[in-house]
Amino acid sequence: MLPNADEDAAAGYAPATAPDAAAHRKGPTDMTQRNTVVRSLHDLTLAAWFGGTLAGVIGINSAAAAVSDERERLQVANAGWARWSRVTSSAVAVHLATAAALGYGNKGRMFLQKGVGASSIAKTALTGAAVGATAWSAALGRKLDQGSGAPVEGSTEPAPATPPDVEKAQRQMRVLQWAVPALTGAVIVLNAVHGEQQRPSQVLPGLLRKPAELLGVAR
C-alpha cells in the first residue's frame, strides 16, 4: 500500500518542493553556469590594459618626441600618461576582481579537467608579472614627472644635457613600456586557450583523462 501525503507528514517526511529539487540539480560548483557580465568585464578591462598601454607607447611617446622644445617633451608625455593612468588603475582592479570570481566559479574544472589547471597557473603568473611591471612603470612615471622641464630627446630617450636621475628612469622605462603590453598580450592568448578548453568537445575528454592518468590507464 502506498503512503499518502497525510501519512508522510505525520511521519515527519515532506515531499521535495520545486526549489529544493532545483537545488539538488544545480550545486554551487555547477560547471555549466554562465557568467556573462563577469566575463565581459574581465575581457574589456584586459583590453583596456593592453590596448591603452600599447597606444601610449606608440602615440603619446611619439607625440611628445615631436615637440620642438626639448624641455617640454617630458612634460607633454607625463601629462598624457597621467590622464590614462587613472583608467589603467581602475581597469587592473576590476580585472583582478573578475579573475578571482571566474577562478572560483571554475574551480571544479581547474582541478578535474586536464590542462585547465596548468593554463590557469600560467595565466596567474603572467597577470602577476603584468601587475608588477605596471606598478614599477607608475613609480618611474612619478620620478619622470618630478623631472619635468629637463631637456630630453623623447619620453624615454635622454639628451646629452639630461640629469642623471632622469636619464636612469628613462632607460628603465624604455624596457618596461614594452613589457606591459607583451605580458598582457600573453594573458589574452591564454584567455583564448581557456575559451577553447570550454568547448564541449574538450570538456568531457579532459574530465575523463585526468582520473585515467591517475589510475594509470590513459594512453
Q: Is 18 a domain residue?
A: no
Question: Is 64 inside any structural domain?
Answer: yes
pLDDT, one tens digit per residue, over 21-55 is 444 444 444 444 568 899 999 999 999 999 999 99
Could you read off the pLDDT of 153-194 as tens digits, one per residue?
999 999 999 999 999 999 999 999 999 999 999 999 998 887
Of residues 66 and 211, which shows the higher confidence score? Answer: 66
Q: What angle do CA 90, 128, 165 make, to 5 degrees?
A: 80
194-209: average pLDDT = 58
How many Cα atoms within 13 Å fall on the side-chain side of residue 136?
A: 18
- By three-state DSSP, how is residue 121 classified? helix
Residue 92: the pLDDT is 97
| pLDDT value for 197 | 67
Can you spell out the DSSP letters for 126-188?
HHHHHHHHHHHHHHHHHHHHHTTTS-BSSSS-B-TT--HHHHHHHHHHHHHHHHHHHHHHHHH
The Cα–Cα gap between 178 and 42 comes to: 22
Does some domain include residue 22? no
Number of domains into which the chain is organized = 1
For residue 3, is it within any domain? no
Question: What are the tens digits of pLDDT across the range 108-159?
Answer: 777 677 777 888 899 999 999 999 999 999 999 999 999 989 999 999 999 9
Q: Is 51 part of a structural domain of the chain?
A: yes
**CA quadruple 169, 174, 177, 178: dihedral sign:** negative
pLDDT at residue number 206: 46
pLDDT of residue 72: 94
The pLDDT score that the predictor gives to residue 73 is: 94
Owning domain of residue 76: 33-215
Whether residue 12 is contained in a domain is answered as: no
Report whether pLDDT(10) > 50.
no
Position 16 in a domain: no
Contact 76, 111 (CB under 8 A): no
The answer to the question of residue 27 being in a domain is: no
Which residues, including other chains, have CB under 8 Å from residue 158's CB and lie 6 or more apart? 152, 166, 167, 170, 171
Q: Which of 44, 40, 37, 59 is nearest to 184 (CA)?
A: 44
Q: What is the pTM of this model?
A: 0.73
Q: What was the pLDDT predicted at 19? A: 46
